[in-house]
Structure 1
Amino acid sequence: MVSVWPPGSSSPVPVGCGEIVGLIESPGSFLSFIINREENTFRPLPHICFRFLSLISLNMSGVLSCSATDLAVLLGPNATAAADYICGQLGTVNNKFTDVAFAVDNTYLLFSAYLVFSMQLGFAMLCAGSVRAKNTMNIMLTNVLDAAAGGLFYYLFGYAFAFGTPSNGFIGKQNFGLKDFPTATNDYSFFLYQWSFAIAAAGITSGSIAERTQFVAYLIYSSFLTGFVYPVVSHWFWSPDGWASPFRTDGDLLFSTGAIDFAGSGVVHMVGGIAGLWGALIEGPRLGRFDSGGRAIALRGHSASLVVLGTFLLWFGWYGFNPGSFNKILVTYESGSMNGQWSAIGRTAVTTTLAGCTAALTTLFGKRLLSGHWNVTDVCNGLLGGFAAITGGCSVVEPWAAIICGFIAALVLLGCNKFAEKLRYDDPLEAAQLHGGCGAWGLIFTALFAKENYLNQIYGVKPGRPHGLFMGGGGKLLGAQLIQIVVIIGWVSVTMGTLFFILKKMKLLRISAEDEMAGMDMTRHGGFAYMYFDDNECHKAIQLRKVQPRSPSPSGVTTTPV
């Protein structure tokens, strides 16, 4: 038996343990008690202290306090000691919850980084399936090098240029080689996540210049892109110091809003796509891609199976690319705990899914009308175009708007491909059209359909914040988005265009015509990616010899099996 002070009573009442449980579980009873160990009695906590205890479950970062004055009515001369004890315990619990919150957020960001990094395998499979078999080993190796060179150069220079503090509006100036890192705002998980984005941009570029580019050119461009070009753009639009960033803290926001590019329709996809555009333009088309009259000749990839596999791997990774860009998951919004950041993350995954699905179906029927075929590789590219477009506004639009985004993204891709053929532009993976064209559309789409309350949740409450034009938010956000498109095109054109031009003048860009015809796997990498027989076996099907032609041929040489 112990004694309990019921509410309003001046003396304790003896009760058993079962009765105490009943008091605790019954509606309206006090749910918290203080035990007096000397007297073997319980006292009810006053309501104000119980409210502070409740804050632990409602706000993990809240400051908890319980003063002696609050407890004096019930504890008399022991109030000060009790208050010190309770506050100490509450502080300990609060610190533990804060640590748990940091651990959960870091784990979430690391897991998202792993998902985005898995997209490198998707890029590799997509590229391998989209090129001819004779260049499979080459394109796979370039994807590995994008990640490896990108990792080193982003560590040495890229992160500092992107997020190093202190900095200015143009470029970061601190944390080279992760010196003085981690900082008060960013940990190693953030670095890893941003590196996975940088190598994604480099991977996009590699597809545009596939099947004709020298190995050394891949190393040079991927290092330059991940170490300088991409980081500067990400600084402009994602750093708190960037001149066009919606997170800017040291000056006025661009058009009172900043450019909204949540996960990188412009920062990642346009940068990679425009870089690939200049590489392909300066190199010129692959041999045999266009006839003497300028008519396009299809040089189809050797494996639709690899294309589909790569597409699904990229789809899977996009759930780290877009939802992961929140960086944190344990954030409560003012509208209530049930509408916290975890709900916004779920909505972002839904908008991403709907945009990709809509773009895939639109491409399926669009290509059927244009070519008369149901082509799986075209559908895969359409799906990825929808993802590239929704990436910029995935967190600030409604699911129904994502369907519009995907539908128009497919039309943009189809139109860009037609225009590219007329210009005799050759991009084996349609990377410039897909990532550059659809990425630009994604920025415009965000300016049309972004919701004000979603923007306030993610970028901070700002009364009268400019938002989507079609959502009643005026045209300021559209102006900011158009500026973003223009400056990305200009910056990447000047930097990467100049680099590819220099490489061409130094004869470091394109391989010889002989190597291109034979395939780089054999001429540059020592063998084919696919082996159907042992190296020491004689196989008549692929042995060739030079013979005199019986009739004139374009090359003057006829090859026949031995």
Structure 2
Amino acid sequence: MAISWEDSVTNSINTVYLLFSAYLVFVMQLGFAMLCAGSVRAKNAMNILLTNVVDAAVGSISYYLFGFAFAFGSGLDSNPFIGSHFFALKEIPNDTYDYSFFLYQWAFAIAVAGITSGSIAERTQFSAYLVFSFFLTGFVYPIVAHWVWSSTGWLSPSSSQLLFGSGAIDFAGSGVVHLVGGIAGFWGALIEGPRVGRFDAFGQPVPIRGHSATLVVLGTFLLWFGWFGFNPGSFNKILVPYMNTANQGNWTSIGRTAVTTTLAGSTAGIVTLFGRRLIIGHWDALDVCNGVLGGFVAITSGCSVVEPWAAIVCGFFAAWVLIGLNILALKLKFDDPLEATQLHGGCGAWGLIFTGLFAKKEFIVQAYDAGVIGVVRPFGLLMGGGWGLIGAQVVAVLVIIGWVTITMGPLFFALCKLKILRISVEEEMAGLDISSHGGYAYVAHPEENHPRFYADYVRMQDGS
């Protein structure tokens, strides 16, 4: 059957935009790598860089073999909980999926493992990274993606049977991506325990600063840049085409989504700057970077369905969620070197709740009904939309936390019992680079990486 010229143009624009968005999301891997490398001590820089590369490489294989099928496969009975058909590319190309969509979803999947890697940095055996990265990308994350983003998912706002008449709105992944990665990181960091020296004999926190503020800021801006593929790019053709005959595109919605993303991140960064100034007494660039990212994480759920002014509200509260959870983490002696649990987990959960409060009816129709007018859907509680949407959002938060807990918690516990999770105290003191990767990332290293650590490590290895 011949395709019309109009359809050909539409498909071409959709594909080019989706691929461009996929490339932007993939750039976020570079952002994660720089952010993580700058946030750890120099003696662990090579290790954290390697884990970021491995997350992408291992994630490619696991998502190809299993992940995409679990997320978007459909069985004979269209199971709403778990998709079927192993070997993802059996499902594409066809009338529903194509290779560009696979690539875009893969870029999301590998971001999840990168989040979790930050929580267990500086004290984890490299083999453990390989195991959890494969499992998280190939099974745990895709199941949540299926629930929320597949048209047959039980939480999906595109399902034929909407939960509470609404379905859960997580447009670009505050829950599906960030909450999943944050909760997985929480269990990894909790089971491993804090780094050596993070808390003194009296239980008081001892600051462990990263070695390069330059890399942290560079990574933040790269992530900011990539988020314009993460959020506006999520107007993919499974939810709603960029161009279609009924609506001639969603260009206004795409532009607004980029604006709400920017405003939420900027607001969170400024609030974190002043909030931390009141607490610690000085201006801190690294706190601002995490604040900006916390705002981005929070707005990712509702970026397409809220007004710009609401995005500012989102960023304001995201900053306080991050600050509050960081204070709580120190009180509980919880050590997450990248604050990934607090940032991605806490702000991701807030983002889902925020959407249930502030989503606008008109924008929900645009984003989820392809411009169809007159469709009745619940919208934000504070916008007069009733309890349907906020109820679905709360359910989404709870089931995501529960699912990741019952899958990743036992995995990290098993790795711990098998003694393949955490490195020895001696290796941790010497640094993962010298003990596991053949040498430091830098020719000259700061005082904390003085060669005496290596000499001590060698003597311990020799038993002398």
Structure 1 residues 298 and 532, CA gap change in structure 2 (3 angstroms): closer
Match of 2:192 in 1: 283
**Equivalences for residues 85-124 of structure 1 within 5 A:** 95-124=4-33
Kindly report which structure 2 residues correspond to 1:127-138, keeping only aligned pairs within 5 A, or say none. 127-138=36-47
Partner of 1:412: 321
Counterpart selection for 1:517 from 429, 436, 453: 429
Change (3 A) 1:360 1:248: same
Q: Structure 1 residue 180: deviation in Å? A: 4.3
Query: What letter matches 1:165 in structure 2?
Result: S
Cα distance change, pair 449–177 in 1 and its aligned pair in 2 (3 A): closer
Match of 1:343 among 252, 255, 258: 252
1:457 aligns with 2:369: no
* In structure 1, C-alpha distance between the alignment counterparts of 2:94 and 2:359, rounded to whole Å: 32
Distance (whole Å) between structure 2 residues aligned to residue 272 and residue 110 of structure 1: 24
Deviation at 1:450, TM superposition (A): 0.3
User: Which residue of structure 2 aligns with residue 160 of structure 1?
Assistant: 69
| Cα distance in 2, alignment partners of residues 172 and 255 from structure 1 | 22
Amino acid across the alignment from 1:211: E
1:87 maps to none
Provide closer, same or farther for how the CA distance between residues 416 and 451 of structure 1 changes in structure 2, counting only shifts above 3 A.
same
Question: Hey, what's the Cα distance between the residues in 2 that align with 1:332 and 1:187?
Answer: 17
Q: Structure 1 residues 408, 543: closer, same or farther in 2, change over 3 A?
A: closer
* Aligned-partner Cα distance in 2 for 1:197–1:520: 28
Question: Secondary structure in 2 aligned to 1:179?
Answer: helix
Give CA deviations for 1:402-434 in whole Å, capped at 9, x if unaligned.
000000000000000000001100000000000
CA deviation vs aligned residue, 1:302-344 (integer Å, no higher than 9, x gap): 000000000000000000000000015643596x75xx40110
CA distance in 2, matches of 1:234, 1:400: 29
Give the Cα separation in 2 of the matches to 1:290 and 1:279. 18
Counting aligned pairs with the same residue, the percent is 67
Please give the alpha-carbon distance, in whole angstroms, between the structure 2 residues aligned to 1:480 and 1:141. 39
One-letter amino acid matched to 1:279: G
1:523 to 1:480, Cα distance in 2 relative to 1, 3 A: same
Residue 392 in 1 paired to residue 301 in 2? yes
- 1:8-37: CA deviations, max 9, x gaps? xxxxxxxxxxxxxxxxxxxxxxxxxxxxxx
**Structure 1 512/302 Cα, relative in aligned 2: closer, same or farther at 3 Å?**
same
Which amino acid in 2 is paired with 1:525? H
Q: Equivalent residue for 2:134? A: 223
Partner of 1:258: 167
Maintained 8 Å contact 1:289/1:296: yes
Question: How do 1:47-66 residues align onto structure 2 when only pairs under 5 Å count?
Answer: none
Q: Provide the residue aligned with 2:414 in structure 1.
A: 502
Residues 510-546 of structure 1: CA deviation (Å, up to 9, x unaligned): 000000000010010000000139xxxxxxx955499
* Residue in 2 that maps onto 1:310: 219
Letter matched to residue 108 of structure 2: F
Within-5 A mapping of 1:159-238: 159-166=68-75, 167-174=78-85, 176-238=87-149
Matched, 1:493 2:402: no
C-alpha contact 2:434 2:454 (8 A) present in aligned 1: no
Deviations 1:239-290 (A, max 9, x none): 01101101113xx210000000000000000000000000000000000000
In the superposition, relative to structure 1, how do residues 418 and 543 fare at CA in structure 2: closer, same or farther (>3 Å)?
closer
Matched residues in 2 for 1:475 and 1:355: separation? 24
Alignment partner, residue 51 of structure 2: 142
Q: Which runs of 5+ in 1 are unaligned?
A: 1-90, 534-540, 548-556, 558-562
Q: 1:180 to 1:444 in 2, by over 3 A?
A: closer
* Structure 1 residue 176: Cα displacement: 1.9
User: Which structure has more helix as a fraction of its residues?
Assistant: 2
CA contact (8 A) 2:39 2:209 kept: yes
Give, in whole Å, the separation in 2 of the partners of 1:482 and 1:455. 18
Aligned equivalents of 1:182, 1:546: Cα separation in 2: 53
Partner Cα separation in structure 1 for residue 198 and residue 453 of structure 2: 26
Tell me the amino acid that sits aligned with residue 323 of structure 1.
Answer: P
- The amino acid across from 2:137 in the alignment is T
**2:384 is matched with which residue: 472, 489, 511?**
472
Distance 1:476 1:545 in 2: 58
State the SS of the aligned residue for 1:248: coil
CA distance in 2, matches of 1:404, 1:437: 16
1-side partners of 2:326 and 2:396: how far apart?
Answer: 23
Give the aligned CA root-mean-square deviation in angstroms: 2.0
Aligned amino acid, residue 136 of structure 1: A
Indicate whether 1:530 and 2:442 are aligned. yes
Contact 2:18 2:236 in 1 (8 A): yes
Aligned runs of 1:361-380 on 2, under 5 Å? 361-380=270-289
Q: Which whole-Å deviations, capped at 9, do the CAs of 1:135-182 have from their partners, x for residues lacking one?
A: 000000000000000000000000000001233011111252412421
Q: Given residue 354 of structure 2, which amino acid in structure 1 is its aligned partner?
A: F
> What secondary structure does 1:439 align onto?
helix
Are the aligned partners of 2:429 and 2:453 in contact in 1 as well (CA < 8 Å)? no
- Any conservation in 2 of the 1:333–1:457 contact (CA below 8 Å)? no
Moved more, 101-110 or 320-329: 320-329
Of 224-233 and 469-478, more deviation after overlay is shown by 469-478
Determine if contact 1:333/1:341 at 8 Å carries over to the other structure.
no
State the partner residue of 2:152. 241
AA aligned opposite 1:507:
K
**1:361 Cα deviation after fit:** 0.3
Normalising to structure 1: TM-score of the pair? 0.77
Structure 1 range deviating more: 114-123 or 167-176: 167-176
Q: Which residue identity is paired with 1:149?
A: V
- Partners of 1:219 and 1:516 lie apart in 2 by 19
| Residues in 2 aligned to 1:441 and 1:109: alpha-carbon distance in whole angstroms | 28
Q: Which amino acid aligns with 2:383?
A: M
Task: Please give the alpha-carbon distance, in whole angstroms, between the structure 2 residues aligned to 1:128 and 1:355.
Answer: 25
Greater relative contact order (CA < 8 Å, ≥ 6 in sequence): 2
